[in-house]
Chain A
């Protein structure tokens, strides 16, 4: 099963490489990863999916939290959370054909972005597994390119991944 982890971390040079490095160093797999700054420009939010088993996930969460740059970690898989992935796909096909593909895609929503010389680009969003299914159904000779956001997610209700917590270090 895919696990979904959200991480709030310092927006510092090197912070991302510490998180990614932890995975390679300890032999964990990352399936998808997305990262961007938050409302507070000193913090970044990172969302990742991994297919490791639950015991390893517990280790991963603890190891992540141990990184000084990591401020908070959330296991979205275990929480009541909303998640979504977006993909942009380019096909060698006319717009009308792509519109049909979008309308037939199971559980996904999408729209055409642009058509140029018989190349049609469209965006589509929904469950990662449904995007997988759609991609698998495309004809090889029509397919040109895909980029995926990785799974994004957020818990429902009042639980939130943000913090003003500061540990005060005083001498004396």
Chain B
């Protein structure tokens, strides 16, 4: 016989979960007592519920498995909300379990009561309120299935305290099969659409493959590479899709969109065929949708039918799982008797663009380098020292864009950032989740002095569990991305982007938690400090790099314009 609390933890273990991230409190105490009395599921005590959800999220992004967070009712639940919204926007599979006041108190404004089902409703894929303890194993099973299948997303299970009462026992049964009414999961795409797509791909003179996070979700990198090789077209990745196609491959033209490369954005605006694989024509990509791809035919693969024709109408919609649909396309492409179109002229044009305004990946060798450090150089040094193999988590701001532009990701699931919600504070806790999943891998959090302070308390968690992540702080003494917009659109009126003299001494701060802090102020010290940080294998190192505070992220799409309307530097623009 088991209690509801025990059943909950046992069901997690039956779902092959061995680690969860959380924070206790009154309504969750029965659950915590059940955790204490078993050893299959390890609980990681964070310092703030937002971090519990981000850590579970980082774990999920790096492994492809479902991440689990556990929080108490009221403030525990509301603190988890930012984490849940972050996962929702990026379609990350999570199960978030929240304690709730006892059933008979619901609706009475009881102590620490909050309507978690109501508050989380718009930012979850689905949610459950437990109404009888015996249902717990079945609810857990349903929650994991919903979170991880189709287009993944977070699922909340709200558990009133009486549902986990140790005095109420029942026979534990983990269901073998479950039935959900009308929960279709798309598999292969319609074969006629597949053959239409192949005809278009073969006929296009200026095709581009634009791939997104969906390719990573469905573990379809290999299939993407195979098809891209057959087509021979340029490939660009969204911020969420980086790593799905190897960045060092010749066909890769960099990230596209708001801070995409010049060549990727030019290719998108001049293409005669845009082939979207698992991306969603997000506004950071399309810029003004009315000026987007006017000359291009469009093909779109998506596992979520509601993404099709939501922002951009397409000619061929391939509704299905990216991995399966890409394999269908590969087969059809191979068997098709149609001739491939010669893409040499197109590549000639692309290489011209690359030459003209492509990113400089060699900035560590800049001539007449002053001793000021450029943010791009920090990322290039990080890339060099980790040989491009590290897991990189990131916060939100200029540093995030520099990391996305200059760290060349060759594998999926290595680049972990909050793309959709843009959550400052995501970097450090998500790095913890990654490190728990891959204890032997290099895990670095690229952050800014603004973002890191949003979840800085987790330095304590890292110290408790001995998590040697590397924090690479691109310290520009300002909320740089906001400042950049103020430079460009508000006449340099710097409203609330500076901390004046209040920044902490990050070295001492790290040391106070038992970590190593290193401060780098001169370019000549950069590589050496980076190497030292990664040579201290079992230490968390906080590398505080003082960078040029005036650097902007370029290219940058001009608001309201087309994808070819970019600023290339402080002086140059294309329009």
1/0 per residue A95-138: CB within 8 Å of B? 00000000000000000000000000000000000000000000
Among B129, B183, B306, contact of A68 (Cβ-Cβ < 8 Å):
B183
Q: Tell me if A29 is interfacial: C-beta within 8 Å of chain B.
A: no
User: Across the interface, which residues of B come within 8 angstroms of A17, CB to CB?
Assistant: 118, 121
What residue of chain B has the Cβ atom nearest to residue A26's Cβ? B122
Check B129–A167 contact: CB distance below 8 A. no
- Asked whether A13 and B146 contact (CB < 8 A) given A166-B180, A167-B179, the answer is no
Q: Tell me if B310 is interfacial: C-beta within 8 Å of chain A.
A: yes
What residue of chain B has the Cβ atom nearest to residue A71's Cβ? B182
User: Across the interface, which residues of B come within 8 angstroms of A171, CB to CB?
Assistant: 176-177
Check B182–A14 contact: CB distance below 8 A. no
Q: Tell me if B345 is interfacial: C-beta within 8 Å of chain A.
A: no
- Asked whether A166 and B181 contact (CB < 8 A) given A58-B309, A59-B306, A171-B176, the answer is yes
Q: Tell me if B127 is interfacial: C-beta within 8 Å of chain A.
A: yes
Q: Tell me if A21 is interfacial: C-beta within 8 Å of chain B.
A: yes
**Counting chain B CB atoms within 10 Å of each CB, which of A21, A62, A69, A163 scores highest?**
A62
User: Across the interface, which residues of A come within 8 angstroms of B129, CB to CB?
Assistant: 13-14
Secondary structure of the B side of the interface? Answer: mixed
What residue of chain B has the Cβ atom nearest to residue A166's Cβ? B179
Q: How far is the CB of A26 from chain B (nearest CB, A)?
A: 9
1/0 per residue B113-126: CB within 8 Å of A? 00001100110011
Q: Tell me if B178 is interfacial: C-beta within 8 Å of chain A.
A: yes
Check B179–A168 contact: CB distance below 8 A. yes
Check B182–A70 contact: CB distance below 8 A. yes
Check A68–B125 contact: CB distance below 8 A. yes
Q: How many Å lie between the Cα of A125 and that of B305 in the bound state?
A: 38
Among A62, A170, A172, contact of B305 (Cβ-Cβ < 8 Å):
A62
- Asked whether A62 and B306 contact (CB < 8 A) given A13-B129, A170-B176, the answer is yes
What residue of chain A has the Cβ atom nearest to residue B15's Cβ? A171
What residue of chain A has the Cβ atom nearest to residue B304's Cβ? A66
Q: How far is the CB of A33 from chain B (nearest CB, A)?
A: 17
Q: Tell me if A63 is interfacial: C-beta within 8 Å of chain B.
A: yes
User: Across the interface, which residues of A come within 8 angstroms of B146, CB to CB?
Assistant: 68
Q: How many Å lie between the Cα of A81 and that of B306 in the bound state?
A: 25
- Asked whether A163 and B181 contact (CB < 8 A) given A14-B117, A66-B306, A68-B146, the answer is yes
Q: How far is the CB of A19 from chain B (nearest CB, A)?
A: 11
Q: Tell me if B145 is interfacial: C-beta within 8 Å of chain A.
A: yes
Check A10–B181 contact: CB distance below 8 A. yes
Q: How large is the interface on B (under 10, 10 to 19, 20 to 34, 35 or more residues)?
A: 20 to 34
What residue of chain A has the Cβ atom nearest to residue B177's Cβ? A170
Q: How many Å lie between the Cα of A55 and that of B305 in the bound state?
A: 14
Among B142, B177, B181, B185, contact of A165 (Cβ-Cβ < 8 Å):
B181
Q: Tell me if A39 is interfacial: C-beta within 8 Å of chain B.
A: no
Q: How many Å lie between the Cα of A25 and that of B122 in the bound state?
A: 7
Q: How large is the interface on A (under 10, 10 to 19, 20 to 34, 35 or more residues)?
A: 20 to 34
Q: How far is the CB of A20 from chain B (nearest CB, A)?
A: 10
Q: How far is the CB of B550 from chain A (nearest CB, A)?
A: 40
User: Across the interface, which residues of A come within 8 angstroms of B181, CB to CB?
Assistant: 10, 71, 163, 165-167
Check A21–B121 contact: CB distance below 8 A. yes
Q: How far is the CB of B308 from chain A (nearest CB, A)?
A: 8
1/0 per residue B301-326: CB within 8 Å of A? 00011101110000000000000000
Q: How many Å lie between the Cα of A70 and that of B182 in the bound state?
A: 8
CB contacts under 8 Å to A, within B87-124, are 117-118, 121-122
User: Across the interface, which residues of A come within 8 angstroms of B117, CB to CB?
Assistant: 14
**Counting chain B CB atoms within 10 Å of each CB, which of A65, A71, A169, A171 scores highest?**
A169
Q: How far is the CB of A57 from chain B (nearest CB, A)?
A: 12
Q: Tell me if B491 is interfacial: C-beta within 8 Å of chain A.
A: no
What residue of chain B has the Cβ atom nearest to residue A25's Cβ? B122
1/0 per residue B124-150: CB within 8 Å of A? 011101000000000001100110000
Q: How far is the CB of B493 from chain A (nearest CB, A)?
A: 32
Q: How far is the CB of A92 from chain B (nearest CB, A)?
A: 39
Q: Tell me if B504 is interfacial: C-beta within 8 Å of chain A.
A: no
Q: Tell me if A93 is interfacial: C-beta within 8 Å of chain B.
A: no
Q: How many Å lie between the Cα of A139 and that of B573 in the bound state?
A: 65
User: Across the interface, which residues of B come within 8 angstroms of A172, CB to CB?
Assistant: 176
Q: Tell me if B348 is interfacial: C-beta within 8 Å of chain A.
A: no
Q: How far is the CB of B61 from chain A (nearest CB, A)?
A: 22
**Counting chain A CB atoms within 10 Å of each CB, which of B127, B183, B310 scores highest?**
B183
Check B182–A165 contact: CB distance below 8 A. yes
Check B180–A167 contact: CB distance below 8 A. yes
Q: How far is the CB of A94 from chain B (nearest CB, A)?
A: 46
User: Across the interface, which residues of B come within 8 angstroms of A13, CB to CB?
Assistant: 129
Q: Tell me if A18 is interfacial: C-beta within 8 Å of chain B.
A: yes
CB contacts under 8 Å to A, within B477-509, are none
Q: How many Å lie between the Cα of A53 and that of B309 in the bound state?
A: 14
User: Across the interface, which residues of B come within 8 angstroms of A63, CB to CB?
Assistant: 306
Check A72–B182 contact: CB distance below 8 A. yes
Q: How many Å lie between the Cα of A71 and that of B127 in the bound state?
A: 16
1/0 per residue A7-28: CB within 8 Å of B? 0001001100110010001000
Q: How many Å lie between the Cα of A63 and that of B305 in the bound state?
A: 8
What residue of chain B has the Cβ atom nearest to residue A171's Cβ? B176
User: Across the interface, which residues of B come within 8 angstroms of A70, CB to CB?
Assistant: 182
User: Across the interface, which residues of A come within 8 angstroms of B118, CB to CB?
Assistant: 17
Q: How many Å lie between the Cα of A72 and that of B184 in the bound state?
A: 11
User: Across the interface, which residues of B come within 8 angstroms of A163, CB to CB?
Assistant: 181-182
**Counting chain A CB atoms within 10 Å of each CB, which of B145, B182, B304 scores highest?**
B182
Among A25, A66, A168, contact of B177 (Cβ-Cβ < 8 Å):
A168
Q: How far is the CB of B540 from chain A (nearest CB, A)?
A: 38
Q: How far is the CB of B60 from chain A (nearest CB, A)?
A: 19
Q: How far is the CB of A90 from chain B (nearest CB, A)?
A: 33
Check B306–A169 contact: CB distance below 8 A. no
User: Across the interface, which residues of B come within 8 angstroms of A25, CB to CB?
Assistant: 122
Q: How many Å lie between the Cα of A30 and that of B185 in the bound state?
A: 28
Q: How far is the CB of B84 from chain A (nearest CB, A)?
A: 15
What residue of chain A has the Cβ atom nearest to residue B305's Cβ? A62
Q: How many Å lie between the Cα of A167 and that of B182 in the bound state?
A: 6
Q: How many Å lie between the Cα of A17 and that of B177 in the bound state?
A: 29
Q: How far is the CB of A136 from chain B (nearest CB, A)?
A: 37
Check A169–B182 contact: CB distance below 8 A. no
The 9 closest A-B pairs by CB, nearest first: A62-B306, A166-B179, A68-B126, A71-B182, A169-B178, A167-B183, A25-B122, A167-B180, A170-B177
Q: What are 28 residue pairs bridging A and B, where the CB atoms are less than 8 Å apart in the complex?
A: A13-B129, A14-B121, A18-B121, A21-B121, A55-B309, A58-B309, A59-B306, A62-B305, A62-B306, A63-B306, A65-B305, A66-B305, A68-B125, A68-B183, A69-B126, A71-B181, A71-B182, A72-B182, A165-B182, A166-B180, A166-B181, A167-B182, A167-B183, A167-B184, A169-B142, A169-B180, A170-B176, A171-B176
Task: Beyond A62-B306, A63-B306, A68-B126, list 7 extra A-B contacts (CB 8 Å).
Answer: A14-B127, A21-B121, A59-B310, A65-B305, A68-B180, A166-B179, A167-B183
